[in-house]
Structure 1
Amino acid sequence: MHTVSNKAHNDIMVLINTALLQKLSVLNGVFETLIELIHFPPHSEARQKASRGPWNHSSTMGFVLTSLFNESPMHVFLFSMVVLVYILAIAGNAAMVLLTWADTRLHTPMYFLLSQLSFLDIFFTSVTVPKMIVAFLFGWTGISFGGCGAQMFFFMFLGAAECILLALMAYDRYVAICNPLRYPVLMSHQVCLLMVMASWLGGSLNASIQTSLTLQFPYCGSRKIAHFFCEVPSLLMLACADTEVYEQVLFVTGVVVLLVPIAFITTSYVLILAAVLQMHSVEGRRKALATCSSHLTVVNLFYGPLVYTYMLPASYHSPGQDDVVSVFYTVLTPLLNPVIYSLRNKEVAGAIKKVTGKCGVSRNA
């Protein structure tokens, strides 16, 4: 009996010691966590670096986008304005496409290219704004790795295609003013189609290169993108690899897609200005300058923010400034393009009056 009681006593002591060791290990883990939180706050850069674990497209993890607006009354008002501008941009560009198709007076190379610009703007603004709206209304700020890649691809594709198309539209104005007798040959329907195809192919090539190179990097524990959509500069900040070489490639691509078209546009308009100054007709000068000023305004509105985003060094950027600039060329510019062309061109204004007149007649009938 004494032997059995000693054995039972020993078993009880072993169980007690085991339980105490487990409790001590738990408390030790808690103290280590508290010490880590004191030295590395949850949102600090040091803690993010310490907790980074590489992951990529093979992982089920995605990204988290920063919402552009919060729940304050002022932000609700700004959100409502963005939604209104987005709806007006879609309606304005769709109207421009329909007007060009419906009115025979607009069946010219200039307005054909303008309709293609409006067509690109419809999809360009729709790549980012609907996701932003859903994130604000329902809190769905997450985006999968594949969804982020798709958004980045179509944004780069449509943006580069629009850059190329704007440069080709400058060539159209150059031919119309400097070589008016050869305009039907140099700007035939086949040439216009080739211009549109060149812009689409150039945009797809640019997007394929940029997206594939960006997504090949391993990304780390911090999945929060400091932007309201997946844009290359913001995504590169999460890469846990040296991106210096790729940033140089991105700069070279920016030179090809942005600065080369800007140089082409500048050269075209220098030649146009020289030709306009030689005109003897005041009416001819006024008309030439009116059509050119519309295109130049659109070029400045579109290229300016893109040069800031993709050509300036990272030290010149901040998340707040990048958000404002991105809103400008993803929301405001697509709205302003049809407005600028409709206000500056009598043909477009005449087509709008013609269509509205027909609608009024049909309603009265």
Structure 2
Amino acid sequence: MEERSKIHVGLDVHKDSISVATAEPDRAPGRLIGKVPHDVNKLLKVLAKVGTKEQLHLVYEAGPTGFGLQRALKAKGYLCEIIAPSQIPRRPGDRIKNDTRDSVQLAECSRAGQLSAVWIPDPDDEAIRDLSRAREDAVHGRMQARHQLKGFLLRHDVRYKGKTSWCGAYYRWLGTLNFGAGAAQTAFTEYWQAVTAADDRVDRLTKALQASITGWRFEPVVGALQALRGVAAITAIGLVAEIGDLGRFAHPRKLMGYLGLVPSERSSGERTSRGSITKTGNAHARRLLTEAAWNYRFKARIGRAAQVRQQELSEPIRRMGWTAQLRLTQRFAALNSRGLQANKACVAVARELAGFVWAIGMQAQREKGAAT
């Protein structure tokens, strides 16, 4: 059935309820059908009254409820898309927002072809992404625990004489501290134990994440991305888990836009005005690329660790990794010489780095296809 003859159904999905609205193929305004509990069987009964499976095109916004509803509806034979909230048109004068209006707007915008669907990962891909984000949360928790311990030491004017914190020497120094038999010693011990527990949690999740990609369909892409400077195993896994199939981007600029690394723009007539990056799309992948981009402020070189990572890679991928390093180190140096603020220079380099991620990932997928 052609898309223009379908009945478009907007679902405003919450933890406990789903508001259902429809927009008929003609130009009539959308209308609310009803509000049901968040239960697939009850929702199916409502949809059956609206039309057949072949007649309906269902959409709802991406949110905290995940992909479970979409997968359940797809298993029942319905066409269902999850929409990127940042790409939904908003009327400047609209100051009223509720479940009814949201569901009706989704249905009407779907009928007009104004919505952008998000990529829905396979359950295996989502599992690795969940593990990657769990490790990321553990790293943030460890950072907070370390800050709390350092704050305690600062309040007691206890200062480390070495140059680097959180190394073996620093942990040995912590073991020599003594605040007496009072409450201060108890507080210090609790802070210290929180840090060591956080370290153990990060180590466990790191090992689990590295082991989880064995046999994964994107394992060759993870290995190939490690040809890039600043992209080791954990960063490569995180990037692939967040971005998914790079083949869905027809051009590297599409990937840059998806990651929110392109400048915003407000131009009219002869005036062109560009601002900060859009920051749309996947924030996790954008952060990983930005962190990797900081490594290009140093001169181009391939260290021992990078040589080990590249041993099993093909010559075209190693060559692209070295080309990326030469270009991006020069780019970072040129931006710095112009006096551009360091964070802006890093973001500009991260945007170009996304292009090399796309090129290397596509090459790895082509090599995998040729091998099979």
Smaller-chain TM-score bracket:
under 0.3
Task: Pick the structure with more strand per residue.
Answer: 2
Task: Pick the structure with more helix per residue.
Answer: 1
User: What TM-score do the two structures reach when normalised by structure 1?
Assistant: 0.22
User: What TM-score do the two structures reach when normalised by structure 2?
Assistant: 0.22
RCO greater where, 1 or 2, for CA within 8 Å and sep 6 or more? 1
Select the structure of larger CA radius of gyration: 1
